[in-house]
Structure 1
Amino acid sequence: MNLRGQIEPLYERYLNWQCKHIPAHIAIIQDGNRRYARLNNVGTIDGHRAGAETTQRVLEWAQDLGIRTITLYSFSTENFKRDPAEVDYLFELFKRKFAEIREDDRVHRNQIRVQMIGDRSMLPHDLLEIIEAAEDATRHYSRYFLNIALAYGGRNEIVHAARGVVAGVREGTVKADAITPKTVEYYLYDGIHLPPVDLIVRTGNERRTSNFLPWMANGNECAVYFCAPYWPVFRKIDLLRAIRVYDQRVRRRR
C-alpha cells in the first residue's frame, strides 16, 4: 500500500469525528463526467458510465452516514441541447437504472422511496413509464428518499408553480389572500417529499449552483460546498469535507 493509501483511511476517520451534525437533505450537482472523459482520452459515454458508478457509491456512503434525503441533479432542461447521441445514451442509462430499482433488494430492504422532480412532459414516454413504475414500487417507503432531477430547471419549476397557484385561485380552491410559502411548495412538488435543502455539493471545480432547487435551497440559506474532483472520481473524503462545511455552519449559527 502506498503512502496515500495509508493516510486516506486515517483522514477519513478524522473527518468522520469532526462531523457532529449530519444534514438531513443533501442536493448534489454531479458535474465533470465529460471533462473526466476528455482528460482520460475515453469517450463521453465512458465518462457518464463512470459517473453512474460513483452515484451508486455515494448513495451507499450517504446511507451509512444517516442522510435521509438525497437529491441528484442528473439532467437539466439545458442538457437537451447536447449532442443527440449523448442525450439518447443518457436516457437509456436512466431507463436501465430506474428499471433496476424495482428489483434492487437494497432499495426494499432499506425502504428507500425514489421520486423524480422535473418537467415530465419533456421526457420520452418509454422513459417516463419506467420512472413511474419505480416510483410506484417504492411509494410506500419513508425511511430514506432519493430524488432524481430530470428535465429540471429551477426557474421553470417556479413558473409551473405560479401557473398552478393562479389556476387554483381561478377555480376557487386557493384563496388569493391566504397564499403562503407552503401553498407555493405544494404546487412546486405536488406532494413529493422534498424538505428544505441543508447542503448543496457541486463537483468539477465549478462555483455556481446552476438554477438548482432555488426555492428549497436559497430559501433555506443552505450551506454550499464546491470541490475540484470531477464526479467520477468523487471520494467519500470529499463528501465528508462537504458535511464538515455544513457542520461548521450549524455551529456558527448556534
Structure 2
Amino acid sequence: MTLRGLLEPLYERYLLMQCTQIPTHVAIIQDGNRRFAKEIGIDTAQGHRAGADKTEEMLDWAHELGIRFVTIYSFSTENFHRTEEEIRELFRLFKEKFISTISDERVHRYKIRVQMLGDRSLLPEDLRAAVEAAEEATKDYDGFTLNVALAYGGRNEIVLAAREIVSAVREGKIAPDTIDQKMVESHLHEGKEIPPVDLIIRTGNEYRTSNFLPWLANGHESAVYFCAPYWPLFRKIDLLRAIRIYDQRVSAKAH
C-alpha cells in the first residue's frame, strides 16, 4: 500500500471528527469529465462514464455519512449546445443508468428513491421512458433520495412554475392574493417535496453555481464548496472537506 493509501483513511477520520453537523441535502455540480478525459488521453464518452462511476461511489459515501438527499447536475439546458454525438452518448449513458437502477441491489437495500428534475419534454422518448420506469420502481422508498437534474435550468423551472400558477389563476382555481412562497414551491420540480439545499459542491476548479437550484439553494443561502479535482477524481476527503465548510457555517450562524 502506498503512503497516500495509508494516510487518507486517517485524514478522513480526522475530517469527520470536525464535522458535528451533517447536511440533509447536498447538491453537486459534477464538472470536469471532458477535461479529465482529454488530460489522460481517452475519448469524451469514456470521461463521462468515469464520472458516472464516481457518482455511484459518492452515493455510498453520502449514505454512510447520513446525508438524506443528493441532487446531481447531470445535464443542463445549456448542454444542448454540445455536439450531437456527445449528447447522443450522454443520453445513452443516462438511459443505461436509469434502467440499471431498477435491478441495482444497493438501491433496494438503501431504499433509494430516484427522481428527475428538469424539462422532460426536451428528452428523447426512450430516455424519458427509462426515467419514468426508475421513478416508478423506487417511488415508495424513503431511506435516501437521489435527484438527477436533466435538461435542467434554474431560471427555466421558475418560469414553468409561474406559467402553471398564472394558468390556475385564469381558470379560477387560485386567487391571486393567496400566492405565496409555499405555493410557488409546490409548483417547482413537478410538485416533488425537496428540502432546501444545505450545501452545493462544484468540482473542476470552477467558481460559479451555474443557475443550479436557485430557489432551493440561493434562496436559502446554502453553503458552497468549490474544489479543484475533476469529477472522476473526486474523493471522500473532498466530500468531507465540503461538509466541514457547511459545519463551520452552521456553527457560525448559531453564535
Q: Which moved more, 1:207-216 or 1:45-54?
A: 45-54
Q: How big is the shift at 1:175?
A: 1.3
**What residue identity is the alignment partner of 2:63?**
Q
* Structure 1 equivalent of residue 59 of structure 2: 59
CA–CA distance in structure 2, aligned partners of residues 123 and 231 of structure 1: 24
1:93 alignment partner AA: L
User: Which stretch of the first structure deviates more once superposed, 138-147 or 204-213?
Assistant: 138-147
Following TM superposition, by how much is the alpha carbon of 1:3 offset from its aligned partner in structure 2, in angstroms? Answer: 2.2
Cα shift at 1:106: 1.4
Q: Tell me which residue corresponds to 1:211.
A: 211
Question: 1:166 aligned to 2:166?
Answer: yes
Q: Provide the residue aligned with 1:33 in structure 2.
A: 33
Cross-structure match for 2:95: 95
Q: Distance in 2 between matches of 1:166 and 1:146?
A: 30
Residue number in structure 1 paired with 2:10: 10
Q: Is the 8 A contact 1:197 1:222 kept in 2?
A: yes
1:74–1:148 Cα contact (<8 Å) kept: yes
Distance 1:200 1:221 in 2: 10
Correspondence for 2:198: 198
Q: Match of 1:186?
A: 186
Q: Deviations over 1:127-175 (max 9, x none)?
A: 0011001101111111211000000000111110110110111112211
Shift of residue 108, structure 1, vs aligned partner: 1.4
Give the match for residue 249 of structure 2.
Answer: 249
- Whether the 8 Å contact between 1:203 and 1:230 is mirrored in structure 2 is yes
What SS does the corresponding residue of 1:251 show, helix, strand or coil? helix
How many angstroms does 1:187 deviate by? 1.1
Q: TM-score, normalised by structure 2?
A: 0.98
CA distance in structure 2 between the aligned counterparts of 1:96 and 1:72, rounded to whole angstroms: 17
What CA distance in whole angstroms lies between the structure 2 residues aligned with 1:143 and 1:44? 34
Q: CA RMSD in A?
A: 0.8
* CA deviation after TM superposition for structure 1 residue 34, in Å: 0.3
Give 1:193 deviation, angstroms. 2.7
Query: Runs in 1 of length 4+ with deviation above 2 angstroms?
Result: none
Structure 1 unmatched runs, 5+:
none
Aligned AA for 1:211? N
8 Å contact kept, 1:122–1:151: yes
Q: Partners of 1:100 and 1:188 in 2: how far apart?
A: 27
Runs (5+) with no aligned partner, structure 2 = none
- Give, in angstroms, the shift of residue 194 of structure 1: 1.2
Question: Is the CA contact 1:197–1:217 (under 8 Å) kept in the aligned structure 2?
Answer: yes
Range moving further from structure 2, 172-181 or 119-128: 172-181
Matched length? 254
Give the aligned residue type for 1:16.
L
Once the two structures are overlaid, the 10-residue window that deviates more, 210-219 or 187-196, is: 187-196
Whole-angstrom CA distance in 1 between matches of 2:51 and 2:105: 22
Report SS of the residue matched to 1:67.
coil
The structural deviation recorded for 1:191 is 2.4
TM-score (normalizing by structure 1): 0.98
The corresponding residue for 1:72 is 72
| Partner Cα distance (1:44, 1:62) in 2 | 27
Identify the residue that residue 117 of structure 1 maps to in structure 2: 117
Assess if the C-alpha contact under 8 Å between 1:145 and 1:193 holds in 2.
no
